[in-house]
Amino acid sequence: MRPIIEVKNVKKTYFNDEVETHALRGVSFDVKQGEFVAIMGPSGSGKSTLLHILGFLDHPTKGKYRLDGKSIDQFDEPELAWVRNQKIGFVFQMFNLLNRTTVIDNVKLPLAYAGIKNGEQDELAKIALEKVGLSHRLDHTPSQLSGGEQQRVAIARALINEPSVIFADEPTGNLDTKSGNQIMDIFSRLHDEGHTIVLITHEPYIARFAQRIINIKDGLIASNKTNHKPIKKPISRR
Amino acid sequence: MRFRDTLKTSLTGLKTNKMQSALTILGIVISIAAIIMIMSIGAGAQDLILQEISGFGSDIIVIRPGKEPKGPSDIGDTLFSDSLTKKDIEALKKKSNVPELEHIVPGVLVPGSVSYEGETYRPTIFGYDAEFIGSALNIYPEEGQYFTEQDIEMNAKVVVIGSKVKEELFGSAEALGEYIKIKGKNFKVVAILPQKGQVSFFNVDEVVLLPYTTAQSQLLGIDYFQEVLVIATSPEAVEKTVRDIELTLREMHNITDPEDDDFYVLTMEGTVQQIKNILQSLTILLSSVVAIVLVVGGIGVMNIMLVSVTERTHEIGLRKAVGATNQDILLQFLLESVSLTVIGGAVGIIIGGSLSMIVTIVLQKFFALNWIFTIPLISIILGLSVAAAVGVVFGLYPARKASQKSPIEALRFE
């Protein structure tokens, strides 16, 4: 079967005030359907740039990237929005919820852009929130929730359109250990249910939840190793 | 995204910044209120004038002595000019001169006051054919009878008085048959007019009418007229009659060049047209002031939308990341600015309508004008569409700016 993510010699160069910054200098790897991959690296290693390219938010300067066999260059702007809406679920470090909007409306956002009817939106959103254990918080606003709960709302939002891949950018970076563990528990469960997950982190412990760990350094892949003993249940580290 | 969802998103955006939104639309509210007021009051004034014509008759022609006043300083010329005399009246009465003349009534104005047993009052004193004026304006005495043509011929010392004059001089006592003094001479009260307030161009309640012949010989010592009313056989004949009058009078006064006319002719039609023109230029002037306020208001909306777009860069990035197209974002912000201005327009319509209503009540109560309250439907439609247009025009640039933001830049923005 064809890998869901194919990255071949991808380069990304930024031009700022005639200074070239090489964020990615030739990166190649694949991710198969249903895999849970962690991309690790210190800040400035180019891992965020990579995630933007993987998430069809940015174009590579050189090289080939295909998601589900499709390249970003094939789409015009509205189609790209459609692909992001249907194929990709994002989870960000800062949660990125709409602060004045209720939990359920936040989760419904991708459905609204998919043009689904309101009644149906509500049903699907409730199911997604149940999966992350937040059925009792539907009408709260994000500011009334803890960081961990906010991130769970964000995961529900990422799941709602049943995307091909979930991209998570330092999802535990802003959380305490306990909340972080809860989030990683959810990712493990989603993986078990067959979701493809690409997670970016600089914490080795978090990376160990994945089946495979790709290390990035200075815009190049330093290592790409299978993790034979992924963490299944979060370890209590008090 | 479905339109309903976009609209909901936009309205939520406004609700979260209530105070800011309210202040932003103030300019729009004021402009639209002004538009409604201008149009409502303009329509009321127009109605009033149209009522006047139907009340006074469009077949009336007024001849005045002197040059046609072009400004306030020329009016004295009219009052003291002696060019219209009894001879002129006789000439105009001839069918061979003015065939479509139905009726001709000369008049004089008597400056001064009236008194009765120590009570003094300053009414408007006209020397006129009271019966003719009464029937033209549809006013009939409450008590007594108008003086007759015979009274006019005989220089009878009789007067018809308005209700206010009666009250000032007599109070609740009987006035009919009593004698009032004008310039030291006694005049018998033969009729009292009903309370009518402002009718046409004078106040019926404050008027004293006496035969013009009496006014000329007993009070003024003149043999000319300050005004001559001519009734044409029909409104259609007015134009021709005006020409006939001009030709006859020029012949009588030995005038060859119309530039040298020592009289001028007015028609109701012409007067109405003049007033309409004045109202129209006033409306245009006020509208251009409103347009300036509207533009300032629109710039306010644009400003606040630009601030909002910057403040919500992060939100825009997120929306794009979860599947919003540029068009979705454009529509969201455009709808936000249009909702803002349309709400402003609606509030403006309510405020403008209420103020017009207050103006109407004041005019009716304190000026006794037969003023009708109307808010033309067109003004409401115009108000709302102008408000919406301002929202589109001044919201487009910020909305476009929002829609063009790159999702990564937007997500990175803190």
| Per-residue pLDDT tens digits for B16-65 | 777 878 888 888 899 899 888 888 888 888 777 777 666 566 678 888 88
Cβ distance B325 to A98 less than 8 Å, yes or no, reads no
The token pair that represents A26 in the structure block? 């030739």
- pLDDT higher than threshold 50 for residue A238: no
The domain containing residue A179 runs over which residues? 5-226
Chain B segment 323-382 residues within 8 A of A by beta carbon are: 323-328
pTM of the model: 0.70
Cβ of A81 within 8 Å of Cβ of B325? The answer is yes
State how far residue B397 is from chain A, nearest Cα, in angstroms. Answer: 20
Q: Which residues pair with B263 in a beta bridge?
A: B65
- The more confident residue out of B394 and A229 is B394
Subunit contact B322:A82, Cβ cutoff 8 A? no
* CA angle at A190 for the pair A208 and A94, rounded to the nearest 5°: 70
Query: With 0-12 CB in 10 A as exposed, 13-18 as middle and 19+ as buried, what is B3?
Result: exposed
pLDDT by residue (tens digit) across A63-116?
A: 999 998 889 888 999 999 999 999 999 999 888 898 888 999 999 999 999 988
Say how far apart CA A106 and CA B322 lie, in whole Å. Answer: 11
Question: How far apart are alpha carbons B138 and B328 in whole angstroms?
Answer: 67
Three-state DSSP class for A38? Answer: strand
User: Do the beta carbons of residue A211 and residue A37 sit within 8 Å?
Assistant: yes
Pick the residue of A14, A43, A86, A96 with the most B CBs within 10 A to test the interface with B by mutation: A96
Tokens 């009588």 — which residue?
A: B252
| pLDDT tens per residue, range A12-54 | 998 888 888 888 999 999 999 999 999 998 887 888 889 899 9
pLDDT of residue B195: 87
Task: Identify all chain A residues contacting B326, using CB atoms and an 8 Å cutoff.
Answer: 77-78, 81
A113 and B328 within 8 Å at the Cβ level: the answer is yes
In a domain, A234, yes or no: no
Among B6, B412, B329, B326, CA closest to A80: B326
- Test mutation, B4, B5, B6, chain A, max A CBs within 10 A: B5
- Tens digits of residue pLDDT in A142-173: 999 999 999 999 999 999 989 999 999 999 98
- Domain assignment present for residue A105? The answer is yes
CB contact under 8 A, B327 and A157: no
Q: What b/e readout covers A118-150, taking b as 16+ CB neighbours within 10 angstroms?
A: eeebbebbbebbebbebeebeeebbeebebbbb
How far apart, in whole angstroms, are the C-alpha atoms of residue A233 and residue B2?
42
How many Å lie between the alpha carbon of B322 and the closest alpha carbon of chain A? 5
CATH number for the domain that contains residue A69: 3.40.50.300
Q: Is B3 on the interface with A (CB under 8 A)?
A: no
Chains A, B: CB contacts under 8 A, how many?
64
In chain A, residues with a C-beta closer than 8 Å to the C-beta of B320 are: 57, 81, 84
Chain A CA closest to residue B312: A98
Of A157, A150, A213, nearest to A183 by C-alpha is A150
Partner residues linked to B391 by β-bridges: none
* Per-residue pLDDT, A158: 93
The pLDDT value recorded for residue B54 is 61
The predicted structure's pLDDT at residue B55: 59
Element of type H or E holding A148: helix A147-159
The minimum CA-CA distance between B339 and chain A, rounded to whole Å, is: 19
End-to-end CA distance of chain A: 43
Distance from CA of B338 to the nearest CA of A (A): 21
Distance from CA of A229 to the nearest CA of B (A): 33
In a domain, A129, yes or no: yes
Task: Taking each helix axis as running N to C, give the angle between helix B268-311 and helix B313-321, from 0 to 180 degrees, rounded to the nearest 10.
Answer: 70
Asked if the C-beta of B319 comes within 8 angstroms of chain A's C-beta atoms, the answer is yes
Strand-pair partners of B161: B192, B208
B322·A110 Cβ contact <8 A: yes
pLDDT tens column, B306-323: 988 998 898 999 999 999
The answer to whether residue A9 sits within a structural domain is yes
- B324: chain A residues, CB-CB within 8 Å: 81, 113
Distances from the Cα of A114 to the Cαs of A124, A153, A160, B61, B405, in angstroms?
A: 13, 19, 11, 75, 20
Query: Which chain B residues are within 8 Å of A109, Cβ to Cβ?
Result: 319, 322
Asked, for residue A110, whether it belongs to a domain, the answer is yes
Smallest Cα distance from A112 to chain B, Å: 6
Give chain A positions within 8 Å (CB) of B408: 52, 57-58
d(CA A20, CA A219): 13
Say if residues B96 and B293 touch (Cβ distance below 8 Å): no
Q: Which of B316, B346, B340 has its CA nearest to residue B393?
A: B340
* Domain residue spans of chain B: 3-53+273-412, 99-232
| Beta-bridge mates of residue B384 | none
In sign, the C-alpha dihedral spanning B274, B275, B279, B280 is negative
Tens digit of pLDDT at every position of chain B (414 positions): 677 778 888 887 777 777 878 888 888 899 899 888 888 888 888 777 777 666 566 678 888 888 776 655 555 555 567 888 888 888 888 888 889 888 888 988 888 889 998 888 999 898 988 888 787 777 889 889 999 888 888 899 999 999 999 998 888 888 899 999 998 899 999 999 998 877 666 788 899 999 999 999 888 888 889 888 888 888 788 888 989 999 998 988 888 888 888 888 888 777 777 777 888 888 888 888 888 888 888 998 999 899 889 988 989 999 999 999 999 999 999 999 999 999 999 999 999 999 999 988 888 888 777 777 888 888 889 889 999 999 999 999 999 999 999 888 888 776
> Chain A residues contacting B, CB < 8 Å?
52, 55, 57-58, 77-78, 81-82, 84-86, 90, 92, 96, 98, 100-101, 109-110, 112-115, 117-118, 157, 161
How high is the pLDDT of residue B29?
92
Judge: B324–A77 Cβ closer than 8 Å, yes or no. Answer: no
Check CB contact under 8 Å for A82 and B315.
no
Task: Spell out the residues 6+ positions from residue B358 whose beta carbon is closer than 8 angstroms to its own.
Answer: none
Number of separate domains in chain A: 1
Which of A57, A98, A118 has the CB atom closest to B407's CB atom?
Answer: A57
Chain A CB contacts of B410 under 8 Å are none
b (16+ CB within 10 A) / e for B377-397: eebbebbbebbbebbeebbbe
Instruction: Compute the distance between CA of residue B287 and CA of residue B233 in angstroms, rounded to an integer.
Output: 41
CB contact under 8 A, B5 and A118: yes
Average pLDDT for chain A = 90
Distances (CA, A) of B367 to A43, A108, A208: 81, 62, 89
Q: Token pair for residue B26?
A: 């103030």
DSSP secondary structure string, A44-73? Answer: TSSHHHHHHHHTTSS--SEEEEEETTB-GG
With a CB-CB cutoff of 8 Å, which residues 15-54 of chain B face chain A?
A: 16
Name the 3-class secondary structure at B152. helix
Residue A235 included in any domain = no
Q: Which chain A residue shows the shortest CA-CA distance from B13? A: A100
Write out chain B residues lying below 8 Å of A57, CB-based. 320-321, 407-408, 411
Indicate the pairing of strand B124-127 with strand B207-210: parallel
CA distance A157 to A179: 18
